[in-house]
Structure 1
Amino acid sequence: MARTALITGASSGLGAEYARQLAARGTDLVLVARDRSALTALADRLVSRHRVEVEVLPADLLDHRQRQKVERRLGDAARPIDMLVNNAGFGLPLSFARNDIEDEVHHLRLHVEVPMRLTHAALGPMLARGGGRIVNIASVAGFIPRSTYGACKGWLISFSRWANTRYAARGVTTTAVCPGFTHTNFHERMGLPPGQEGLADWMWLDADDVVAQSLRDIARGKAVSVPSLRYKAIVALTRVLPAGLLASVGERGR
């Protein structure tokens, strides 16, 4: 596994879980998010428990100057980053027509433009060293018509597949991790209290299982990782079900 990993959206949810599991494997970390205090608290716990080096890099990735700090850190040859985890993101209500268009633009930029820019910043140094791993946190929604969230995640999946095909032979693998609905604070940040997302219990995954399974796929250099058998089956069905039925399924949950 990587010697040093940079994780965006690291202050909570899947980002924090990647930080915990990578630190447990002895990986040094660079943690990126807007909330400095949350990053510092997580860093202190990881250093105390696992004796790894943890750098806190607060940044709003939608701010040009702050994002450039992260890009420069990815390109720092003296302190190489072996793994980039593009995890930062947020959700919106599924009704595109009622959503504020500026919110939609910010959503598109954070889920598509930002990981593209950070991947570009990391890729050159990784190729020069002959090794590295890029991880894009996508979603099963990327296989299902699900408003602009599914569209953004579908882009990440397609981009990751192409990049893995293009650069894996030179030592740099790219993996799109596609979890289903996962117990984190993601839905709470959208204003939905726990238990009010409109989903059956069987559809929920635990964050630690998602990350553990994805790390195995990342280590194998897989282009797409779909944690859990139940969601692997759902993704397989998306290849044969009619588009109208898939769109109806995509309206479930929030």
Structure 2
Amino acid sequence: MPNTALVTGASSGIGREFARYHAEKGGDLIITARRAAELEALKSEIEADHDVKVQTIALDLGSPEGAQELYDQTKGQEISILINNAGFGGHGAFTDRELATDLAMIDLNVKALVTLTHLVARDMAKRGSGKILNVSSTASYMPGPLQATYFATKAFVSSFSQALAGELKEKGITVTALEPGYVETEFAARADLDGTDLTKSGATPRSVAKYGYDAMRRGELRAINDGRLRFMLNWIVPWLPRWTVLKMVRRMQEKSV
């Protein structure tokens, strides 16, 4: 499978659009998520529309052995692009939330991403080429009252991605962190964010996937799809007092209904 991309969280949202866009470029795919039916439907659609091959792997990437199991099922295939898209968030005060849910969030958003990246990047390094795209968030730029764990996981993803980019550049591998704002996907409903200011307007999954994929191809370090957010996060938010930032973020995440 030449020019093969491995896309996690591919059954819906941005992940599904990553898969479609890569196929449009003529690349083969390995797509994974928990929902087998959705993966098979996407495989049928893509293979009908494009002259590419699609392999589906249905599993729980956040389980203790999920990343290793995924890697084991792809052994022997040359993965040119790794897109770590799988992840979830959750609304509410940290002490009111179930600890098990936040630990599961860390397992998927951080531990699985680190494990899969380590396994795949070693193979890329041996070949001397490869591209990695880690889906982070604008949440990585600030702490997030009422989504404390989620924001922290994305800060990790962005920091980790940049450090890897510095390490792997000499081995012919680029690493990009895609940092979108709110995107119109299933994420908001699953994270219980409906009714907050965060969800008043957002980008389409297609536009975000295309922006991130193209940034990855160019080898960019960080990619924010929204120009207004890019300006605010790089030139305004860093100069604001921390308490001001905390209050601002909390207001955006408080329920209006």
Place the TM-score, normalised by the shorter chain, in its bin.
over 0.9
Equivalent position of 1:165 in the other structure: 166
Equivalent position of 2:219 in the other structure: 221
Instruction: Give the C-alpha shift of residue 200 in structure 1.
Output: 7.0
- Structure 2 SS opposite 1:52: coil
**Pairwise mapping of residues 1-254 of structure 1 onto structure 2 (< 5 A)?**
3-74=3-74, 76=75, 78-146=76-144, 147-191=148-192, 196-199=195-198, 201=200, 203-236=201-234, 237-251=236-250, 252-253=252-253
Q: 8 Å contact 1:7–1:87 — kept in the other structure?
A: yes
User: CA offsets, 1:142-180, max 9 Å, x none?
Assistant: 101111111110001001010001111211111111000
Using the alignment, how far apart are the partners of 2:62 and 2:214 within structure 1? 31
Q: 8 Å contact 2:184–2:202 — kept in the other structure?
A: yes
Q: 8 Å contact 2:66–2:112 — kept in the other structure?
A: no
Change (3 A) 1:109 1:28: same
Instruction: Give the C-alpha shift of residue 217 in structure 1.
Output: 1.3
Instruction: Give the C-alpha shift of residue 27 in structure 1.
Output: 1.1
Q: How many residue pairs were aligned? A: 248
Please, what TM-score do these two structures have when normalized by structure 1?
0.92
**Deviating 4+ runs (over 4 angstroms):** none
Amino acid corresponding to residue 173 of structure 1 in structure 2: T
Using the alignment, how far apart are the partners of 1:28 and 1:249 within structure 2? 43
Using the alignment, how far apart are the partners of 1:253 and 1:49 within structure 2? 40
How much is the aligned-residue C-alpha RMSD, in angstroms? 1.7
Using the alignment, how far apart are the partners of 2:10 and 2:4 within structure 1? 14
Unaligned runs of 5+ in 1: none
Using the alignment, how far apart are the partners of 1:249 and 1:18 within structure 2? 32
Q: 8 Å contact 1:72–1:121 — kept in the other structure?
A: no
Amino acid corresponding to residue 162 of structure 1 in structure 2: A
Instruction: Give the C-alpha shift of residue 95 in structure 1.
Output: 1.0
Using the alignment, how far apart are the partners of 1:26 and 1:250 within structure 2? 41
Amino acid corresponding to residue 206 of structure 1 in structure 2: T
Q: 8 Å contact 2:138–2:181 — kept in the other structure?
A: yes
Using the alignment, how far apart are the partners of 1:99 and 1:198 within structure 2? 21
Amino acid corresponding to residue 237 of structure 2 in structure 1: T
Unaligned runs of 5+ in 2: none
Amino acid corresponding to residue 112 of structure 1 in structure 2: V
Instruction: Give the C-alpha shift of residue 69 in structure 1.
Output: 2.0
Using the alignment, how far apart are the partners of 2:68 and 2:198 within structure 1? 39
Q: 8 Å contact 1:40–1:56 — kept in the other structure?
A: yes
Using the alignment, how far apart are the partners of 1:249 and 1:174 within structure 2? 31
Change (3 A) 1:199 1:190: closer
Please, what TM-score do these two structures have when normalized by structure 2?
0.91
Instruction: Give the C-alpha shift of residue 191 in structure 1.
Output: 4.4
Q: 8 Å contact 1:180–1:204 — kept in the other structure?
A: yes
Q: 8 Å contact 1:59–1:67 — kept in the other structure?
A: no
- Structure 2 SS opposite 1:227: coil
